[in-house]
Every structure is written in C-alpha cells, then in structure tokens.
Structure 1
Amino acid sequence: MKVLLVCLFLANWQTVRAEESLSAETTHSLDKRGSSIETSTSDAKCSRIISLAPSITELVIALQLADKLVGVSSFDNVLSSDSDLPRVGDLFNVNLETAHSLRPSIVLALHEQRHLIKKVESVGIKSVIFNHNTLEGIQQSIEELGALCHVHQNSDQLLSDLTREMASVKDSLADQKVLIVIGGVQEQLYVSGRDGFFYPLLKHVGLKPAFEQKTVATGALAAEALLSLRPDHILHILPPNRPLPSKEVLKTHWRKFAGVPAVQRESIFVRSEPFFSIPGIHYPKVAKAFVEMFGELNERDPS
C-alpha cells in the first residue's frame, strides 16, 4: 500500500492515448449476468467499464456511469459496502482471466499502469489511459470520459462545479511558505515539489510552496537543505485513514530540524483523508482544507 501511494503521488502522469470507437453501427455486448444484449455503437464503448484506479472509479460515479461498472481495483473503497463488483487488479497487477471474463467494452487506467494496459490489450480489450497527477490532467480526463461515454452534460456540469468550488477559495490566504511531506511517520518520506499534485493548489489559495524542485525522498536531501527551506508550516500527509500520531510523536520525529520555523512554532499538521493521498476530482477539498488549516494562523500571524 505504501508503494502504491508513493507512485500515485510521484509519477509524472500524462494522458497518452484515447482508443478508437467501435466501428459497427450496432454491436452485441453482455449484460452484468453475461447475457447477450444489443446496443448502439455510441453506448457500446462504455457499456461495460472496468476501472483500475480509485480516482477513476470516483470519476465514473460522478459522471453517473456507476451502473456501467463491471469491475474495479482492489483498493476501491468509494463503492457501497454491499457492492459485489469483482476486484480486477491494482497499480501493479491485473487478473487477466477475471478481466477477460467480464467482457469489458473498455478498461480505464492511469498512466503509470501502462505496463498493465499492454497485457490487457494483448487479449483484445480496449483501454484508455488518464493523467490524474495534475489538475489539468484531472480536468482533461473529465472531458475525455464525458466525450467517450456521450455524457457531455454530466462532464460539463462536473467541471463547472469544480471551477466554482475553486473560485471560492482563490487567494484566500497570505503568502506563507508550506512544506508538504508524504509517507508514514516511521517510513520513507517524500518532499512534494513543483511536479506534485499539491503545488498548484497551494499557489491557488495564496500560499507559497516551500520546495520548488521536483519531488524527492527526504533521504536524498541534506539536513541543511531542508533547514534552508524555512517553511512557516509543515503538512505531513499519511497513507489513507492511517491513525494520526500524537503531538509528542511529531515533536520527536521533527526534533532534528529544530531550526525550521514551522518546527519552532509547532506548526505541523497531519492529514490522512483519502482525498489528500489519491489525486482526483476531489481536489477542491484539498484547497479548502488548506484554507481551514492555515487561515486562522495567517490571521494571527501574517508575518
């Protein structure tokens, strides 16, 4: 799970393909029980969807295509507890036998899963790859899936809602420096940089990212380099739903960086909600959380 989250954060995903539509005007598909049904070409492309990533499943549901899902990833937890959808794979593996047996019309995956997609396509299953590592990529995936599945109205509405939510927090905070680190307290940590999901969100709300280089493991940075960043606040993002450490544990963990302003002021925050660790359509929640965490501090200490 730790490796999965690191890859979700650090991979520089880019959208690399959109598959051609089915050519026949009318084709036969299978319903969720495996029975043959006739569908039009416009419906056939999304009649039976497999999602290989939680963020994609969230998008499919947001576009009101949940009834088209026939398989999801092992780490999906956005579905109801009584959902009996088969778990097809995760970031690194896919069960080809299960996937093929579900007769999907399309498999949706993330860029870093392209090695899996080669396997999927080798058995004749069509696929589309999305980029969910950047805001632009997430927005583009909404447009692309809306076009692919002929739900333009739903995708347009979702984009409009996201734009409105982001506008409500734009430039809400003073220009203070925030350092974001990712990983378990007793595990390898990564410093989120300009290539990360959080960089544009910090800037959007008026904060300044403390680390301007590409995302890197803390072990690759000298202690002096971290000290030189001098962040006003530190945000430590844990794997999803991980129990939050006590203040004493945090103090002990950051003691070696006692010269950092955020450590001196004990302005260290920890979050473990899934929307922090899985980049996707809930990015306005991250921006709003920034405002909630740092807004009161900025009012008290705008320096």
Structure 2
Amino acid sequence: MVKRAVFLKHSLGARPSWSLAVVIFIAVWSAHVSSAERLISLAPHLTEMVFDLGMGAQLVGVSRYSDFPAAAARLPRVGDAFQLNVERIINLAPDRILAWQGGAPRTLSKLEALGFLVHRQEIKGLSSIGQGYRRLGDALGQGPRGALIEAEFTASLNQLRARYAPRSNPRVFLQIAENQLFTVSDRHYMGEAVSVCGGENVFSDAVSEVPVVTLESVLSEQPDVIVFVTNQKGRLPWQAKWQTFLPDATIQRVESDLLSRPSRRILSGITALCRAIHLEAESG
C-alpha cells in the first residue's frame, strides 16, 4: 500500500550501473516503507509498544482502551481485540495491522484476504514481552531500539527477581476481576510475576491460564495475601467477603493497567505487586 518510492540512479563515468541503481532503489524504498507506514494497533499493549519504539506518529487507528500514552487516547477507535470495525479499518488504509494472537482470528483472516498485512504478537511469558519488542522493532524498521528495550526489560526483570524471590513465600491469590473469581495460573505472565516476587500462586497449577475458581477452592488454599488487580477505586465487591471468610489474609490491590498489559510498563506493575505481597511501603 506504499504509493511513493524514490528511485536513484548511479552512474560510474558515462555508463550507468543499473544493477547498483536497483540496489540503491530497493534500499531507499525499504527505508521509506519503514518510516512512512500507516499502522493500526488492535490491543492497548501493542499501542504502548509502538510508542515505546518511537513510532507513535505512524498510528492512524487503535483499539478500545488504548489510553496510554495520552496521545493514544486521541486516535480513532476501530473496535477491540474481539470485535473490530472492518469498514473503519479499510477506510483508514493501514499498511500494517498489529494484532494480539488470540483476538478475533476470523476478522484478522478476512483482513489478510483483503490484502492487509497483519503482524501478530503472542505473549507466552514475561520473557516474551521483551522479545516482542525486538520482533516488533524488526518489523517496523526499529530493530536497534527494539533490541535495546528487550535488554533493558530483561535486566530490570532479573533485578526484581533477585531482590524478591529469595524472601519468604507468602501464599497469594490474585483476583483479576472485581465481581467474579477469575485468577491466573503460572502459565500466564501475571502468575509468573507472583513467582518473580517470591510469592506462591495458590492456583499455579490450574489447567487454564485464566481459570474461574470457586469460593470454596480459595478458602481451601488459605492464602496469606489476596491481591485485587483492578483500576477500580474505593471498596470492592469481594473485599468484605474476604475479610469475613479469611480474616487473617491481607488484602491488597495493584493497578490493572500496569500489571495486566504486557508492555514495558508491566515492570512498574510487578514492582507494585512485590511490594503488595511483602507488605512494603511505596518507598520500599
């Protein structure tokens, strides 16, 4: 969908070297494609990653809830990871669509059939977040920046692990929904984050990455710490229940946008989670 290219001729003496001209043309055309691509992001964490890579100005559309950084909130919406507005996407004429691997597979296949280039990202663990920056950086012509972010992310994650993992291992129940008992296993990156913090995820071995559990199953696990992953302020629906049924458990909360989005900001979320698990003050 690139409509312009630069063709450079190179001559050696009086005779043009057309093979060299073609090489120069391809190199300049490729650089132009990387710098001028129109991008659409179909997940908030991918939107953040694009801005982290210095390519935010190339975004012409984003998914619902793409609200960080502030500039992302001003971009046109094209739906969310599960329900996309195909007509709007077509009208925005993107050169590349960035998608979460698990979101709207039929719609993504339809967009590919229409000729759109879809770049899929899959997050399997915390290490894959850094790797995702490298892969996305390579795809967008920002390879060195992507590799740098990956290295910095890995180093920061290792520092958190070295600081917290050797500590006592409190039993942790991570509740990721305000009204229902959704949690995560250690196959999910948020469950892995509990281990980084030196905690023991009470549903670490659950078959599903994001299981729904029962009140009875939580009570039988006797967690020491219950952490709500939420953006909601004030008293939470389940808070009183836990205080009644598990009076010895400490109830904490961590901002959902920081811990649930697999972007570079999750390092702040993991830091907050570690402090919550070990009952540290914010300056800890």
TM-score range, shorter chain: 0.7 to 0.9
Preserved contact between residue 194 and residue 274 of structure 2 (Cα < 8 Å): no
Tell me which residue corresponds to 2:129.
138
Which aligned pairs between 1:43-192 and structure 2 lie closer than 5 A?
A: 43-44=32-33, 47-80=37-70, 84-113=74-103, 114-132=105-123, 134-171=125-162, 172=164, 173-184=167-178, 187-192=179-184
2:229 to 237, 241, 247: 237
Q: Secondary structure at the match of 1:88?
A: coil
Q: Does the alignment pair 1:284 with 2:254?
A: no
The CA distance in 2 between the partners of 1:95 and 1:117, in whole Å, is 11
Give the partner amino acid of 2:33: A
Tell me which residue corresponds to 2:29.
40
Task: State percent identity of aligned pairs.
Answer: 22
Q: Does the alignment pair 1:217 with 2:216?
A: no
The answer to which structure, 1 or 2, has the higher relative contact order (CA under 8 A, 6+ apart) is: 1
Tell me which residue corresponds to 1:272.
255
The CA distance in 1 between the partners of 2:84 and 2:120, in whole Å, is 15
Task: Tell me the TM-score normalized by structure 2.
Answer: 0.78
Root-mean-square deviation over aligned CA pairs: 2.6
Q: Secondary structure at the match of 2:278?
A: helix
Preserved contact between residue 43 and residue 149 of structure 1 (Cα < 8 Å): no
Q: Secondary structure at the match of 1:194?
A: coil
The CA distance in 1 between the partners of 2:58 and 2:150, in whole Å, is 21
Identify if the C-alpha distance between structure 1 residues 87 and 59 changes in structure 2 by more than 3 Å, giving closer, same or farther.
same
Q: Does the alignment pair 1:198 with 2:187?
A: no
Give the partner amino acid of 1:28: K
| 1:250 Cα deviation from its structure 2 partner | 5.0
Task: Tell me the TM-score normalized by structure 1.
Answer: 0.74
| 1:163 Cα deviation from its structure 2 partner | 2.0
Preserved contact between residue 189 and residue 217 of structure 1 (Cα < 8 Å): yes
Q: Secondary structure at the match of 1:216?
A: coil
Q: Secondary structure at the match of 1:188?
A: coil
Give the partner amino acid of 2:184: S
The CA distance in 2 between the partners of 1:183 and 1:251, in whole Å, is 12
1:212-239 superposed Cα distances (whole Å, 9 cap, x missing partner):
2233212xx461x32231221111222x
Identify if the C-alpha distance between structure 1 residues 156 and 270 changes in structure 2 by more than 3 Å, giving closer, same or farther.
same
Identify if the C-alpha distance between structure 1 residues 251 and 199 changes in structure 2 by more than 3 Å, giving closer, same or farther.
closer
The CA distance in 2 between the partners of 1:213 and 1:43, in whole Å, is 48
Preserved contact between residue 178 and residue 207 of structure 1 (Cα < 8 Å): yes
| 1:157 Cα deviation from its structure 2 partner | 1.6
The CA distance in 1 between the partners of 2:59 and 2:239, in whole Å, is 45
Corresponding residue pairs, total = 251
1:21-60 superposed Cα distances (whole Å, 9 cap, x missing partner):
x9xxxx5259xxxxxxxx7234425611110110000000
1:239-284 superposed Cα distances (whole Å, 9 cap, x missing partner):
xx322316xx65522256x2xxxx2324011233411233332221
> Structure 2: 5+ residue runs without aligned partners?
6-27
Preserved contact between residue 66 and residue 73 of structure 2 (Cα < 8 Å): no
